[in-house]
Amino acid sequence: MPVNDTLATYSDWLYRAAALVYVFAMVFYTVEQAFTRKAKKSELARELVGSGAPATPETPIIGRIDEPPSAGRPERFGRMAVALTVLGALLHLASIVLRGVATGRAPWGNMYEYGAAAMLVAVVTWLVLARKFDVRRLGAFVLTPVVILMFLGGTALYTPAGPVMPALQSYWLVVHVSAAIISSGLFLVPGVVSLLYLAKVRNDADPRRFARLGPKLPAADSLDRLAYRTTIFAFPIYTFGIICGAIWAEAAWGRFWGWDPKETVAFVAWVVYAGYLHSRATAGWRGTRAAVINSVAFGMVVFNLFFINLVIAGLHSYA
Amino acid sequence: MSGAVAFARNTWRGLTSMRTALTLLFLLALAAMPGALLPQRSLNLPRALDYIEAHGWWGTLLDRLQFFDVYASVWFSAIYLLLFISLVGCLAPRTVEYAKALRTKPVLTPRNLTRMPHHQTAELDATPEQVMADTRVRLKGWRLVEREEADGARSLSAERGYLREAGNLVFHFAMLALIVALAIGKMTNYEGQVIVLADGSQFCNSGTLGYDSFRPGLRVDGTDLNPFCVRVNTFDATYLPNGQAEQFAAKIDYQAGDDLDTDTWRPYDLRVNDPLRVVGDRVYLLGHGYAPTFTVTFPDGKKRTQTIQWRPVDTLTLLSEGATKFDPPGVTDPAERRKRQIAVTGLFAPTALVEDKVMTSSHPQLSDPGVAVDVMRGDLGIDSGRGQSIFQIDQSLVDSGRLTRVARQNLKPGESLTIDDGTKISFDGAVPWVSLQVSHDPTQVWVLVAAVAMFLGLGVSLTVRRRRLWVRATPGDGGRTVVRVGGLARTDQAGYGEEFHRLAAQLLRSKGSVRCP
Ligand code: HEM
C-alpha cells in the first residue's frame, strides 16, 4: 500500500495547527483563571450542598452553570477557550484521520501517531467533563501536558507516514493499541486533577500555600470525585488493553507474557491504579494519599510511553 | 500456648488487613520495576552479563541480590506469595459475608427520611396500600421489604446493586486462579528454538537435542515432547526500498498424530502473527537470514559442499557473518587433519555493495549476493571436545598460530579462489533460513479464561452501584397520603442523584402536588 504523501503532509499541518490552537486556548483559560477572583458564589453554595441534599430535584450534584449570573469578561474568555479547544480537537481529529487515509492503516503504528491519538482522547475527555462538571477554568492545567506531549511527539518522536513492520500487521494492533490510547488519554485528566487536588488540600490547610491557585480551584472533594470517576472509567479499558496485548503477544512473540520492559511497566502502572482504587476503600488512605497514588500511576503511564520506548531496548521498540 | 495462638491470630489479621494488602501491592509494583530498567538474564543473557561485567563490584552485588533475574528472585516471589495469602485471607470472609448479605432483608426504614442525602416528599391521592402496591411495581429488580408502622403508616425498604460485590469477588477469585494457572504453566511449559534451511529441510520435535536452544519449565525433562514434524519449503520476504520488511512468510508442511504413521504432509503458511498450532504446541516464525553455500575442492579432487546458516549482524540489510568449517576428506591421522582443516569465514551480503574492496549489504533481499571471505587453515579445534559457536572460529587458535589465514577475497556466486596448496574454494550461492520457535504451555488457555473473568468482574464491580431506597406512606388529611422517599448510595454518592430523582419522580408522579423540601 503506497503512502499518499500529499495527504500525509496535510495531516502534519493539521497536527501543528491543532497544537497551536490549543496554545491559544490555554492562554484564554489562563486569562479566565487570572481574572476570576475566586470560585463563584453560586458555585460555592452549590458545592456546599453537593454532598448533602441537592437543592432542586434536577440538579446534578456538581452542577454546570447553564445561565451564569453575570457573563462577565472572564466568563467570555472561558467560553472562547472552550470554543478554541473544540476547534483544536476537530483539527486534531482531521489530522489523525488523514494520516490513516494516507497510509491505508490504523493511524497508530508508531510513537508519534500513538501520542497524537492519546492526546486527542485526553482533550475530548476534558471537553466532556467540562460539560458535566463546573471545572472549565482548569482547562489550562489539562492542556499544558497535552501541548508539551504534542510538541515532543511532533519533534523528537516524529515519524514520516509509512507502513508498519510485519509484527504490527494484525487486527490486534487496532484493538490493543486503541485500548491503550483511550485509557492513557483518559488517565491524563485524573492525573492532572489529582495534582490540583493536592494543591487545594494544602491551600485549605494553610491559605498561604498555593495562595494564588488554591482559592480558584473547585472544592477538594469535587476534584477527588472527578478524578475517581474518570479513573474507574479508564481502568477497565486499560485492563482490557493489557489482556489484548497478552493475546497478541501470544501470536506474535511466542508467549503471552515475558516481562518485556513495556509489559513490566504496564503491569506496574496497573498495580498502582489498583492500589489507588483500594486506597479509597482503606481508612487513612483516602484523600491525599489516594491523590498521590493516582498521580504516580499516571506518571508510570507516561514513563512507559517515553522512557521505555526511547531508552530501553525491548520488543516494543519498533516505534 | 495462648500467647502463640494470639500471635498467630494477630499475624493473620495483620496480613489480611486492607492496609497490608495495599502495602504489598505497592511493594509488588516497586519490586517489578528493576526488571524493566536492568537487563534480565531470561530476556537477554549477553547484555545482562555485559552489564555485570561493566559495573564491577556493584554489578556483582546486584547479581547476588538477583536483580538480573527479578521475576524468579526470592524477594519478588515472597511479595506475591504474601499477596496471594493476603488475598485468600481477605476473600474467604468476604465471600461468607456476601452469602449472608444475600439472605438478610434490607434494613429498616429510618425514622426521618429527610435526613438522607437524597429525599423527596409529595402528597398523593391514594391510600398507603395503593402507594405501596404501585411502588412495588415500579421497583422491579430491587430487593424489597414492606413493613407496617404505627398510625397506619407503611414503609418499604429497597436495596439493589448486590452484583457489585459479586463482581468484585469474581475479579479477585479470578486473579487467584490466574496466579495458580501461571504457576502450573511455569512447571509444565517449554520453549525451543531451531534454525531450519528453507530448502525443504525438516525439523522434528522428538527431543531436546534437535533444538539449538531449549528452555524447559521446572518439571520438564525433555523426554516427553509432543511428536510432530515440520518441513520448510520456501521463505519469501518483501521489503520496502529502505530495507524495512513489509511482509514475510514461510511455506511449510507439517505432520502430527496419525499423519506421522501415514507420512502425510499438510501445508501451512507460517507468518509473523500467525503461528502453526499443532497437537497443543505452537510453532512460530521468529526470524530469518541466509546460509551461503561453499564447495571446497581438495588437491586430490575430492569435493565437499556445505550450506550453513550465517547470522545477521545488521538487521536492516541482513549483512551476515559466519564460519563454514570443513574437514579434509580421507585424512585419518588426527594430527595431520588438524593441520589441514579449513574454515571459510567473513561476511555475506544478500545485495552486495563493494567500495574500495570493502563489502557491505545495501538491501536485505537476496538479489545480488556476495561474500567477503577469509579462508583459514589449520586446527579448527572441532576435535578438542570443547563446544564452539557455529558462527565463529576459535580466536585463541588464531592467536596461538595454529590457525592461519591463507586467503582473503570477495566472491560472487560461481566465483572461486585457490589457495597455495591448490585447494579451490567456490561460492555457489545462498538459501534463506528461518528461525522457528516451538512453544508448549498447557495452562495458557486457563490464564486467558481467568483474565477474561477478571475483566468482566472488574467491569461489573466498577459500574454497578450499591444503593438503598426507602418509601414511607403516611395517611394524611382528607384521604390523601404523604409519601416520603429517601435514598442512600453505599458507594460513590455522586452517581446516585440522577437515578434517585428519576425514580422519585416516577414514584411520586402525582395526582397531587410534589413538594421538595
Ligand atoms: C494482586 C493484588 C490485588 C489486585 C491487583 C487487586 C485489584 C483490585 C481492583 C482493580 C479493585 C477494584 C474494584 C473496585 O474498586 O470495586 C479491587 C477492589 C477491592 N479489593 Fe482488591 N486487589 C488485590 C488484592 C486485594 C487484597 C489482598 C484484598 C484484601 C485484603 C483486596 C480487597 C479488595 C476490596 C475490599 C475491594 C473493594 C474496594 C471497593 O469497594 O472500592 N484486594 N481490587
- Residue A192: name the closest of A256, A246, A125 by CA: A125
CA of B274 relative to ligand 1 center, distance in Å: 36
Task: Using the mean position of ligand 1's atoms as its centre, give its distance from the Cα of residue B171 in Å.
Answer: 8
Ligand 1: residue of B79, B168, B492 to mutate (most ligand atoms within 8 A of CB) is B168
Q: Test A251 with B275 for CB contact under 8 angstroms.
A: yes
Domain boundaries, given as residue ranges, for chain A: 165-319
Q: Please tell me the distance between residue A157's alpha carbon and the centre of ligand 1 in angstroms.
A: 37
* Nearest alpha carbon to residue B17 among B80, B105, B83, B63: B83
Residue A50 has a pLDDT of 36
Mean pLDDT of A308-314: 70
Residue environment code for B139-174, b if the CB has 16+ CB neighbours within 10 A, otherwise e: beebbbebeeeeeebbbbbbbbbeebbbbbbbbbbb
Separation in Å, CA of A27 to nearest CA in chain B: 32
pLDDT band of A155, cuts 50, 70, 90: confident
- Ranges of residues in chain B with a pLDDT under 70 are 1, 492-495, 510-517
Residues A88-125 as b or e (16 or more Cβ within 10 Å = b): bbebbbbbbebbbebbebbbbbbbbbbbbbbbbbbbbb
Residue B347 burial (10 A CB sphere; 0-12, 13-18, 19+): buried
pLDDT on residue B501: 87
Cα–Cα distance between B195 and B435 in angstroms, integer? 4
* Atom 26, ligand 1: residue with shortest CA distance: B87
Side chain identity at residue B146, one-letter code: E
- Alpha carbon distance A183, B101 (integer Å): 34
Cross-chain Cβ contact A255/B441 below 8 Å:
yes
Please name the residue whose Cα sits nearest to atom 6 of ligand 1: A274
Chain A neighbors of B448, CB-CB under 8 A:
247, 256
Contact residues on chain B for A239, CB-CB shorter than 8 A: 454-455, 458
What's the grid cell of residue A167?
Answer: 509484527
> Which of A232, A270, A310 is the mutation pick for testing B, counting most B CBs within 10 A?
A232
Residues of B in contact with A176 (CB under 8 A): none
Q: What is the mean pLDDT of residues A23-51?
A: 64
B387/B212 Cα distance (integer angstroms): 13
pLDDT band at A42 (very low <50, low <70, confident <90, very high): very low
| Cβ-count burial B451-473 (b if 16+ within 10 Å, e if not) | bebbbebbbbbbebbbbbbbbbb
Contact between B245 and B364 under an 8 Å Cβ cutoff? The reply is yes
- How far apart CA B178 and CA B168 sit, in angstroms, is 15
For chain B, the domains span: 2-97, 107-161+465-516, 185-288+437-453, 291-430
**Yes or no: domain B107-161+465-516 corresponds to CATH 3.30.310.80:** yes
Q: What are the tens digits of pLDDT across the range A249-285?
A: 999 888 999 898 889 999 999 999 999 999 988 888 8
In this prediction, residue B150 carries a pLDDT of 80
* Spatial contact of B405 and B343, defined as CB atoms under 8 Å apart: no
% of chain A beyond a pLDDT of 90: 49
The three-state DSSP-derived secondary structure of B39-74 is CCCCCCHHHHHHHHHHCHHHHHHHHHCCCCCHHHCH
Average pLDDT over residues A122-145: 89
Band of residue A314 on the pLDDT scale cut at 50, 70, 90: low
Name residues whose C-beta falls within 8 Å of residue A136's C-beta, 6 or more positions apart in sequence: A29, A32, A78, A81, A82, A130
Q: How far apart are CA B371 and CA B363, in angstroms?
A: 14
Closest by CA position to A39, among listed A196, A249, A252: A196
Nearest atom (ligand 1) to Cα of B80: 1
Distance B469 CA to ligand 1 centre (A): 27
Cα separation, B429 vs B370, in Å, equals 8
- Cα of B33 to ligand 1 centre, how many Å? 21
Q: Using CA positions, which residue lies closest to atom 25 of ligand 1?
A: B87
Q: Report CA Rg, chain A.
A: 21
- Give the number of beta-carbon pairs within 8 Å between A and B: 140
- Residue A210 pLDDT more than 50? yes
Q: Are strands B352-355 and B341-349 parallel, antiparallel or unpaired?
A: unpaired
A89-98, A125-134, A211-220, B99-108: which has the highest mean pLDDT? A89-98
- Strand (E) or helix (H) holding B335: helix B334-340
Q: What is chain B's alpha carbon radius of gyration, rounded to the nearest angstrom?
A: 37
Q: Which residue of B has its CA nearest to A311?
A: B37
- Rounded Cα distance between A250 and A254, Å, is 5
The yes-or-no verdict on residue A52 having pLDDT over 50 is no
Tell me what pLDDT residue B424 has. Answer: 94
Contacts of A58 in chain B (CB under 8 A): 501
* Cβ pair A275:B25 closer than 8 A: yes
Query: Chain B: residue nearest A284 by CA?
Result: B19
- Please check whether residue B145 is in contact with residue B105, taking contact to mean a CB–CB distance below 8 angstroms: yes
Q: Dig out the grid coordinates for B133 from the structure.
A: 402496591
pLDDT of the residue at A317: 55
Residue B124 identity (one-letter amino acid): L
Burial-class residue B277 by CB neighbours within 10 Å (0-12, 13-18, 19+).
Answer: exposed
Pocket of ligand 1 (CB under 6 A): A 271, 274, 277-278, 281; B 16, 18, 21, 25, 83, 86-87, 90, 168, 172, 175, 458, 461-462
Checking if the pLDDT of A44 tops 60, the result is: no
Contact flag B454-A239 (C-beta cutoff 8 Å): yes
Give the closest of A60, A167, A240 to B497, CB-based: A60
> Which residues does B306 contact at the CB level (< 8 Å), separation at least 6?
B293, B294, B324, B325, B326
Residue A63 has pLDDT above 90, yes or no: no
Closest partner residue to B18 (CB to CB) among A61, A274, A281 is A281
Q: Which of B25, B175, B191, B273 to mutate to test the interface with A (most CBs of A within 10 A)?
A: B273
Residues of chain B positioned with their CB less than 8 A from the CB of A237? none
* pLDDT value at residue A60: 40
